[in-house]
């Protein structure tokens, strides 16, 4: 769908004042504080949620600290955490979900940051309120929990989903973004919520004029475009249903997703690579997940109804043995 029209209009208006330095996201922070009923001191804005994530790594990790997360975590976090040179520890997935009891058991005296993405990238799975509550009981106050909620809009209506704005613990940092459902990935605009002391320390290491003025303007306008948000959610839900059933009818293992993509678990890395290359030749780009740590998996984002149909048609060229016809994009599933 691209970005919302109000966001584009806000960017165009901001171009008239590009000779002025931006104010470090203060305008957006004020709007977010009102929207989520917190103080401005509890909000930070940056160049995408990864920009804020980089600040967390710089501000809080010391040489003897350790990072704890799951295997095949979001690759952006993997790169940032490993670049700091501290020990990076993981536990395996349990049925493609975070194994929170196993993570809790691995916390030690050197654990400083625990990274949790909910919904998770690249699996699309979530952990529940009950699972998070049980896990949190084992986390010392000195340990920071990064709750990466880049895809939270897609899961927020699920009563089992623990929206972290309802878990305002002093050692929890929530990260969100305008890159996904708001269609502003190219603008690089994200935000976070945390205790004011944590935010104050993040502001000390953040680049002083981040985010840019056009990005901030786009974020403010997009946040107010509720109609666009609802249309995006409807389109995505339709795409998830359509792609899931179509791929499963081809005999492909599809992980149930609460985001705007599906993860396909193939037989082996060779099959995953072959499908990626064959789709690429047909003009369809999917994401190989070997760099994440899942060489036998692919991630497929939803698109428009037409794009989803093109993707399924391309997959059927690769899996001609699938005799059951895939549903049409508008068919009720």
Residues 130, 137: contact at Cβ < 8 Å? no
Residues 94, 124: contact at Cβ < 8 Å? no
Backbone angles phi, psi at 68, to 5 degrees: -130, 130
User: Residue 269: which region, alpha, beta or left (left: phi > 0; alpha: psi -120 to 50)?
Assistant: alpha
| Whole-structure pTM value | 0.93
Cα–Cα distance, 48 to 55 (Å, whole number): 11
Q: H or E segment at 6?
A: helix 5-14
Helix (H, G, I), strand (E, B) or coil at 164: helix
The pLDDT > 70 percentage for the chain reads 96
Cα–Cα distance, 252 to 245 (Å, whole number): 10
pLDDT exceeds cutoff 70 at 118: yes
Mind listing the pLDDT tens digit for each residue in 215-251?
A: 999 999 999 999 999 999 999 999 999 999 999 999 9
Backbone angles phi, psi at 189, to 5 degrees: -140, 120
- Name which of 185, 233, 232 is nearest 50 in CA terms: 185
Mind listing the pLDDT tens digit for each residue in 22-42?
A: 999 999 999 999 999 999 999
Cα–Cα distance, 311 to 99 (Å, whole number): 32
Mind listing the pLDDT tens digit for each residue in 250-279?
A: 999 999 999 999 999 999 999 999 999 999
- With vertex at residue 4, the alpha carbon angle to CA 52 and CA 220, rounded to the nearest 5 degrees, is 45
- With vertex at residue 142, the alpha carbon angle to CA 139 and CA 148, rounded to the nearest 5 degrees, is 65
């Amino acid at each position: 769908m691209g970005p919302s029209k109000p966001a584009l209009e806000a960017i165009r208006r901001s171009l008239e004042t590009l000779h002025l330095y931006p104010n470090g996201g203060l305008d957006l922070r004020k709007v977010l504080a009102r929207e989520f009923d917190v103080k401005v001191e509890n909000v930070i804005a940056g160049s995408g949620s990864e920009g804020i994530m980089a600040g967390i790594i710089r501000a809080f990790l010391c040489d003897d600290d350790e990072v704890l997360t799951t295997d095949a975590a979001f690759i952006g976090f993997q790169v940032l955490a490993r670049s700091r040179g501290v020990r990076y520890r993981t536990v395996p997935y349990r049925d493609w979900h975070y194994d929170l009891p196993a993570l809790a058991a691995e916390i030690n005296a050197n654990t400083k940051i625990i990274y949790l993405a909910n919904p998770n990238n690249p699996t699309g799975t979530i952990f529940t309120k009950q699972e998070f509550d049980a896990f949190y009981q084992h986390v010392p106050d000195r340990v920071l929990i990064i709750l990466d909620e880049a895809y939270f809009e897609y899961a927020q209506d699920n009563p089992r989903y623990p929206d972290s704005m309802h878990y305002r613990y002093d050692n929890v940092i929530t990260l969100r973004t305008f890159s996904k459902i708001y269609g502003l990935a190219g603008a690089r605009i994200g935000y976070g919520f945390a205790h004011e002391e944590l935010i104050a320390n993040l502001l000390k290491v953040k680049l002083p004029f981040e985010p840019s003025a056009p990005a901030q303007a786009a974020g403010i306008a997009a946040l107010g475009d509720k109609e666009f948000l609802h249309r995006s959610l409807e389109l995505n839900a339709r795409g998830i249903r359509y792609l899931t059933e179509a791929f499963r009818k081809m005999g492909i293992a599809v992980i149930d997703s609460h985001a705007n993509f599906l993860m396909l678990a193939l037989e082996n890395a060779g099959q995953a690579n072959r499908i990626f290359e064959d789709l690429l030749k047909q003009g369809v780009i999917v994401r190989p997940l070997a760099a994440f740590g899942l060489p036998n998996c692919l991630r497929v984002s939803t698109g428009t109804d037409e794009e989803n149909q093109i993707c399924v048609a391309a997959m059927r060229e690769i899996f001609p043995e699938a005799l059951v016809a895939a549903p049409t994009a508008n068919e009720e599933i």
